[in-house]
Chain A
């Protein structure tokens, strides 16, 4: 699928999730999410590993919501904790809402290469060029940021090894001791990053880079029939939700 279409559909999905307000509309959204996961071809195991961490935060939010809600018939009461039927219902709705939004953005990131996402962002934001917003510069910065994460991971592991060889201890000791050991990684790491940035800047200048010049793309993404089918499916589900919501 075209990355532009994917990003737009992800945002569209996030919007229609906020329209849902009863059980049937949430069921329809879950159906759409399951269809999307199935057709994205992502391994289910990889998918759940991706959302595990944030599911925990969502669950805590929901539990707090249920414990401290005030409306509805009280089912359980202990001190300041009041569990009501409406509290449980809205808690589940909030859980659905955030989980669905997380699923949508996880599908986007697991099925799209980072550079394709950068391309999509650039194209979507290109109307801002008319307002003299440097969209191309932004896209270049995104590409640099994503490109340099693996490089810096390599650097950090060699810095950690070098500091360990000099006797730094990262795994033992109290918080202050560990913080001290970690600080010994930061200064070399930031310096390495600065050197990379400086070298990259020089390399770009020496190759005649100029911002805001019309430039061709290495990868081309076309909008094909799959994009239109998914676009139509999402629109259809959106209309359904609008009709079903109370």
Chain B
């Protein structure tokens, strides 16, 4: 890894930690910026850097640093909780998104589709994990772990497409 890549991964992991600590209070479901940051990182950085950043972030949480959403205590327990699937699937999400978007410098009208598909990967993986972790039926777990997140996730996809598009152009022109 080049020296500049090391500093990029470190600082973007710091950014991801920062975004995870911000929660916007909305009724019912907390609107955290953690997933949004993952989408922006996946849509902006090259696959190697994006995947390393998210892996570093997950490692920090795994060791026990309070880096996960809402500043909640982390550690191995957070991966075993019903919401652990959402964390692990960040790696799948960011891999998919960065590999798909690294081919293009400028986005087209369909660029919204990639973050959307990446979010679907994250939500479905998280849902299946939630189902097996809690032992609920498919239907009950669907309504507790997936349905409430659909609208916030779509909003995040829109924002991330917009932000990544601008950032990619800036990086390309540098």
A-side interface residues toward B, CB under 8 Å?
A: 7, 10-11, 14, 50-51, 53-54, 57-58, 61, 64-65, 68-69, 98, 101-102, 104-106, 108-109, 114, 117, 121, 134, 137-138, 140-149, 151-153, 156, 175-176, 178-179, 182-183, 186-187, 189-191, 193-194, 196-198, 200-202, 204-205, 209, 211
| Residue from A68, A153, A178, A197 within 8 A of B4 (CB atoms) | A197
> Known contacts being A54-B73, A197-B7, is A145 close to B66, with CB within 8 Å?
no
B-side interface residues toward A, CB under 8 Å?
A: 1-15, 17-18, 24, 26, 31, 33, 40, 44, 52, 56-57, 59-60, 63-66, 70-78, 80-83, 134-136, 140, 144, 151-152, 155, 158-159, 162-163, 166-167, 170-171
What separation, in Å, do the CA atoms of A121 and B131 have in the docked complex? 33
| Residue from A142, A145, A179, A200 within 8 A of B155 (CB atoms) | A179
What separation, in Å, do the CA atoms of A236 and B53 have in the docked complex? 39
| Residue from B3, B11, B18 within 8 A of A156 (CB atoms) | B18
Which residue of chain B lies nearest to A99 when distances are taken between CB atoms in the complex? Answer: B77
Decide if A105 touches B7 in the complex (CB within 8 Å). Answer: no
A to B CB contacts below 8 Å, 13 in the list: A7-B63, A11-B76, A53-B73, A68-B140, A108-B64, A141-B13, A141-B52, A142-B59, A148-B14, A175-B31, A175-B151, A179-B159, A204-B6
> Known contacts being A10-B75, A117-B65, A209-B3, is A197 close to B81, with CB within 8 Å?
no
Q: DSSP majority for the A interface?
A: helix
**Which of A105, A183, A209 has the most chain B CB within a 10 Å cutoff?**
A105
Decide if A205 touches B17 in the complex (CB within 8 Å). Answer: no
| Least distance between A7 CB and chain B CB atoms (Å) | 7
| Residue from B1, B17, B70, B135 within 8 A of A149 (CB atoms) | B17
What separation, in Å, do the CA atoms of A105 and B74 have in the docked complex? 7
Residues of B within 8 A of A64 (CB): 134, 136, 144
Residues of B within 8 A of A114 (CB): 65
> Known contacts being A10-B75, A102-B75, A105-B75, is A61 close to B82, with CB within 8 Å?
yes
Known contacts A69-B135, A109-B64; 5 additional CB pairs below 8 A are: A53-B70, A138-B59, A144-B14, A189-B15, A193-B12
| Residue from B40, B60, B65, B77 within 8 A of A98 (CB atoms) | B77
